[in-house]
Amino acid sequence: MPSRRKPWHSMAKGLLLGCLFTGLLLLFYSYTIAPSQATMAKAPEPARCSSPPTLPTNIPKGSCWPKLDVVFMKTHKTASSTLLNILFRFGQKHNLKFAFPSGMSDFNYPSFFKRNTVHNYQPGDCFNIICNHMRFSYAEVHSLVTPNATFITVLRDPAHLFESSFQYFGVLVPFTWKLTGRNKLAKFLQDPDRYYDPKGINAHYLRNLLFFDLGYDSGLDPRSPQVEEHILEVEQRFHLVMLQEYFDESLVLLKDLMCWELEDVLYFKLNARRASAIPQMTGKLYQQATDWNQLDARLYRHFNASFWRKVEAFGRERMAREVASLRQENKRMERICIDGEHAVDAKDIEKPSLQPWQAMGTKTILGYNLKKHISHQYGQLCRKMVTPEIQYMTELGVNLWVTKLWWYIRKLLHI
């Protein structure tokens, strides 16, 4: 009997939370988004931001100039939180101006990005870095940065991305509640059309999520000529499309493109799951997941090919040397900063300020403990490199009252 009551108990709690959170978001919308839209209607906005390109200072003669204006289209489940940390640190280092959301950690996702969702936005405002989750709208984003801004994003093998998204977001997608058995992923992929409702709440998380995040219709017929048009449009708009599977090589290309220092692209993996929480994708499951995400598969194949063309142009031997240097420096920072030199389970993280955001119902995301005695030279860098997204945004002055309220509700109800 207890085994029957538990799902209903969980569902009731989920329903209550869903109603609560929806109400809060509607309240948030009415007090922030709606008034700003009304203001926009009265005063036409300029097509572009009005500031000149940002120029670095103290550059030695003969050196290349670091690029300071960057748009990172933050896709889901692609190691994008690690890259976000890199951009936060770089922005702080150079006192750059971020475009941040208001109240939440994303720009009203899954709605299309609107410039009036930027905190304290005023017509003509210009920003150096835009990097939080959004559903991409090129015209809106482009209007907030200078013409020389660099656009970057990151992709991941669609089968593995789907698995990660299914495990992380599945509980938020009501049609998955009908799935039974221990391996719900395999059950879903046996006959996805039986369960999938394209108009269902949060359905976008479980099909062609990359295509959706980039602002396109994730339900397009894969044979439609629009698919190829959209892929070529991404290629035209983005200066660098990185690959999660080749993250170090991607960072080397980014460093070269932006004329940054090695220190600027050092990292510790953030928002990574513990190995035991990652199910093995068998050959059959992998193929089923790829077939289910055909638009993302085409997108990934295209940019996998273009990525290796960039590597060839960069030079294979040079790439190997720079990747080795990056990994060596990352290991050195681990020895300096990390207690035990590895990530730990959420329950073993000592400081609440270093606790990462967890998926509902699970605590599979790893985090870090800092060493007790770190030299003054590295103390600040070590702390920044392990600080999760929500806490780092708070440090940067972002008021995340909606996100924090949701966090407290979850903590109160133990979900």
Q: With b meaning 16 or more CB within 10 Å and e meaning fewer, what string describes 285-305?
A: bbebbbebbbbbbbbbebbee
68 pLDDT tier (thresholds 50, 70, 90): very high
Q: What percent of the chain has pLDDT over 90?
A: 70
pLDDT over 90 (residue 55): no
The pLDDT of residue 35: 34
265 pLDDT tier (thresholds 50, 70, 90): very high
pLDDT over 80 (residue 226): yes
pTM of the model: 0.86
Stretch 322-348: mean pLDDT? 95
The pLDDT of residue 53: 60
Scanning the structure block, which residue is given the tokens 């449009």?
233
360 pLDDT tier (thresholds 50, 70, 90): low
25 pLDDT tier (thresholds 50, 70, 90): very low
Region at 125 (left for phi over 0; alpha for psi -120 to 50; beta for the rest) = beta
The larger pLDDT score, comparing residue 402 to residue 106, is at 106
The larger pLDDT score, comparing residue 35 to residue 163, is at 163
pLDDT over 60 (residue 335): yes
Task: State the angle between helix axes of 225-237 and 294-314 in degrees (0 to 180), rounded to the nearest 10.
Answer: 40
**Cα gap 271→354, rounded to integer Å:** 11
If we measure between CA atoms, which residue out of 307, 382, 370 comes closest to residue 85? 382
**Which has the minimum average pLDDT: 8-17, 133-142, 223-232?**
8-17
Query: How confident is the prediction for the chain on average, in pLDDT?
Result: 86
The pLDDT of residue 22: 45
The pLDDT of residue 89: 98
The pLDDT of residue 147: 93
The pLDDT of residue 21: 52
Query: Long-range contacts for 201-204 (Cβ within 8 Å, ≥24 apart)?
Result: 201/172, 201/173, 201/174, 202/110, 202/169, 202/172, 202/173, 202/174, 203/173, 203/175, 204/110
Angle at the Cα of 83 from the Cα atoms of 77 and 85, rounded to 5 degrees: 115
The pLDDT of residue 54: 66
pLDDT over 70 (residue 277): no
346 pLDDT tier (thresholds 50, 70, 90): confident
The larger pLDDT score, comparing residue 407 to residue 167, is at 167
Stretch 265-282: mean pLDDT? 81
pLDDT over 90 (residue 415): no
Q: What percent of the chain has pLDDT over 70?
A: 82
The larger pLDDT score, comparing residue 43 to residue 245, is at 245
**Cα gap 22→316, rounded to integer Å:** 51
pLDDT over 70 (residue 18): no
> 115: which 2 tokens?
């410039």
pLDDT over 70 (residue 88): yes
Stretch 395-406: mean pLDDT? 83
Query: Long-range contacts for 23-30 (Cβ within 8 Å, ≥24 apart)?
Result: 24/402, 24/405, 24/406, 25/402, 28/103, 28/104, 28/402
The pLDDT of residue 62: 62
The pLDDT of residue 52: 63
| Contact between residue 135 and residue 111 where contact means Cβ atoms under 8 Å apart | yes
| Contact between residue 207 and residue 173 where contact means Cβ atoms under 8 Å apart | no
- Output the CA–CA distances (angstroms, integers) from residue 384 to 8, 288, 342, 376, in the order listed: 41, 39, 16, 14
Strand partners, 38: none
The pLDDT of residue 5: 40
